[in-house]
Structures are given as structure tokens and as C-alpha cells.
Amino acid sequence: MSLLKKRRIGEGLIQAFLYFCGIFSIFTTIGIVYEIGKEALLFFFNPDVSIWKFLTGLKWQPQGGEFGILPLVNATLMTTFFAMLIALPLGLSIAIYLSEYASSRLRSIVKPVLEVLAGIPTVVYGYFALSLMTPLLRKIFGDDVVNIYNTASAGLVMGILILPLISSMAEDALTAIPLSLREAAYGLGATKLETALKVVLPAALSGLAAAFIVGISRAIGETMIVALAAGAGPNFTFNPFKGAETMTGHIVRISGGDISYDSIDYNSLFAIGLLLFIITLGLNIISQRIVRRFREIQE
């Protein structure tokens, strides 16, 4: 009885510390939303800026007082498009191959390779884009067509970066499908391909969709590749062989230079950051919803 009544201050302190650790991540989120929101609001309340022009303007020229974000968004979408063009079909094929066809020995070789690919810092991919992909594109399409800095090269290399992410998420989704479904399909005389494409794939569709969305979110937030290879300077163009600065690329270039606090340039970066945060957060939340629903159906 006396032991139960014994006051354990240490135990309480530890519990308080652990609770603080747990709650700390909430502080981080509040910090992000508050700080970025605050600076972004300062930007929007600036008399030279209107939200409407920010969202629809076709020119981003801080020196000229023009803050239209569409050129940056457009470049981001272009690089993302090229990234998904590579990562989605390849990632899906790799996932199907690993989960449906490959022997466990082969899987134990390929998966670490993909893990290594996923662990390489993005600045290395930026180097890769600039020193291999761009010269390659220029050799294929001609020097006068392809600029040294272009969104296609950055996007394609970004696809290689995202490939392991998509293939491993997609493979998880495919292997989560119970074996009984496959066996039923084989029992009906389906070939392996028919089983994979017509039975397993549709069953795993939501998991695959989640992988796809996370991939897009990652591509939108990716910075170093576009900072190095996509070009410095906002440019509203649909030509993938021309240079155009993305949202992340712009933030890095401007904040990397000498920038004075409380200037409209400084605040404008946070407006871009806020948009970036909202987009990626939205995509991540959607993908988590999908995964959760997928799991519920599985169980």
C-alpha cells in the first residue's frame, strides 16, 4: 500500500517531458503556418499588390512591381509533368514486376538498388541534370532548340528521383492484395498478366493513386534540381526546352542572395512559400485519406 502511495516525482517529470516532445510537432506546424502566413499577409496587404493580380498575373518582376505567380506555377507544373511522365509508367512497371513476377532473390537485389537511388541527395541529381541530361537533350534535338537551362531536363531527372518513391509505395499497395485473389484468377485460367492487370491492379487502385499523388507533391516541392537545371528567371512559356524558373527555384535563388528583411521581395517569397505549402499539404492529406480508406477496405 505504501508503495502505491509513494510519490514518484521523477516519473511525473519524465511524463511531462515526453508529453512536451509529442506536442512539439504541433508547435512546428503552428510555427510554419504563423510565420509564413504572417509574412505572406504583409505581402498581400502591401498597396502595390493585389491578390487577384498575384493569382492571375503573367509576369513576375519584383523590380517592376509585378507579382503574377503564373509563370512560376507554370514552370512548376511543367517540370512536374515531365517527372510524372518518367516516374509513373516506370514506377508502376517496376512495382508490378517486383510484386508479381520477380523471384524473392531478385527482389532482394533490386530493392536495395532503389533504396540507394532514393537516398541520393537531390543536389546530386541537379548535377546529373546539368552535366548529363541537358547535353543529351541538346545532342538529340539540337543546340539551337534546347537551351542550356530548360524545364524538360530538370523534369526528366526529377522523374528519376521520384521513381523509387512511386515504385516502393506502389509495390506495397500491390503486395497488400491477398494471395487468394490471385489464386482465384489463376484458377479461372487467367495468365499472369491478366491476373496482374485485371485483378490485382484494380484492387490496389487507391493505393496506387496515393503513390501517384505523393509523387506529384514531392515533385512540386523539389528544389535543387530545378534550381540548378531549370533556369534562373521567371519565364511564362510552354516550351519545355526553354529555361523557366519554378516556385521553389525562385525562392532559393532570391533568398540565397543578399536580401533585405521587410522588403516586398522578401515578403513575396513567403507568399510563394504559402502557396507551395498549401498545395503540397493538400495533396498529402488527400493521399493519406485514400490510403486510410484503402486499408479499411482491406480489413
Partner 1 sequence: MRLTLPPLFVINLKRRHLLERIWRVVFRSSTVIGIIFLSLLLYNITNQSFGYVAEETKIDPDSLSVNGVPLKQLTVLELRDILAKNISSGRLRQLDRENPLLKMSNTEIYNLVWAEVVKPEIKASWSLYDSVFNKKKVFMEVAIKFPKAELKFISWINPVFLSSSQSSDPLKAGIRTAILGTLWTVFLTLIIAFPLGVGAAIYLEEYADDNRINRIIQTNINNLAGVPSIIYGMLGLAIFVRALEPITSGTIFGFSTPQSANGRTILSAGLTLAVLVLPLIIINAQEAIRSVSNSIRQASYGIGATKWQTVWSHVLPGAIPGILTGSILAISRAIGETAPLVVIGAATYITFDPNNIFSKFTSLPIQIYQWTARPQAEFRNLAAAAILVLLAILLSLNGVAIYFRNRYRK
Site stretch for partner 1 (CB under 8 A), options 42-50, 57-65, 175-183, 273-281: 273-281
* Grid cell 504563423 in the structure block, residue: 34
Using rule CB under 8 A, residue 227 touches partner 1 = yes
Q: What is the DSSP letter of 200?
A: I
Q: Near partner 1 by CB under 8 A, which window of 3-11, 67-75, 171-179, 198-206? A: 3-11
Q: Is the dihedral of CA 48, 53, 55, 59 positive or negative?
A: negative
Please count the CA atoms within 13 angstroms of the CA of 71 that sit on its side-chain side: 23
DSSP conformational letter for 62? G
Torsion (CA) 105, 110, 192, 199 in degrees, nearest 10: 120
Q: What are the cell numbers at 218?
A: 514531392
Residue 171 binds partner 1, judged by CB under 8 A: no
The reply to whether 143 sits near partner 1 by the rule CB under 8 A is no
Q: What three-state secondary structure class fits 106?
A: helix
Q: Is 192 in the site for partner 1 (CB under 8 A)?
A: yes
Does position 286 interact with partner 1 (CB under 8 A)? The reply is no
Within the chain, what is the greatest distance between any pair of CA atoms?
A: 87
Judged by CB under 8 A, the stretch of 62-70, 71-79, 88-96, 137-145 that binds partner 1 is: 88-96
Please tell me the chain's helix, strand, coil percentages from 3-state DSSP, rounded to the nearest 5: 80, 0, 20
Is residue 140 a contact residue for partner 1 (CB under 8 A)? no
Residue from the set 75, 84, 98, 216 that interacts with partner 1 by CB under 8 A: 98
The residues near 64 (Cβ < 8 Å, ≥ 6 apart) are none
In this structure, what C-alpha cell is assigned to residue 144? 539551337
Question: Which CB atom, from 23 or from 64, has the smaller least distance to partner 1?
Answer: 23
Q: Choose which of 49, 72, 88, 130 interacts with partner 1 (CB under 8 A).
A: 130
134 binds partner 1 (CB under 8 A): no
**Binding footprint of partner 1, residue count (CB under 8 A):** 86
Asked whether position 76 contacts partner 1 by CB under 8 A, the answer is: no
Residue 113 amino acid letter: V
Taking the complex as a whole, how short is the minimal distance between the CB of residue 292 and partner 1, in angstroms? 10
| Nearest residue (CB) to partner 1, 58 versus 124 | 124
Residues 9-38 that bind partner 1 (CB under 8 A): 10-11, 14-15, 17-26, 28-29, 31-32, 35-36, 38
Taking the least distance from each CB to partner 1, the nearer of 56 and 131 is: 131
Question: CA-to-CA distance for 83 and 92, rounded, in angstroms?
Answer: 14
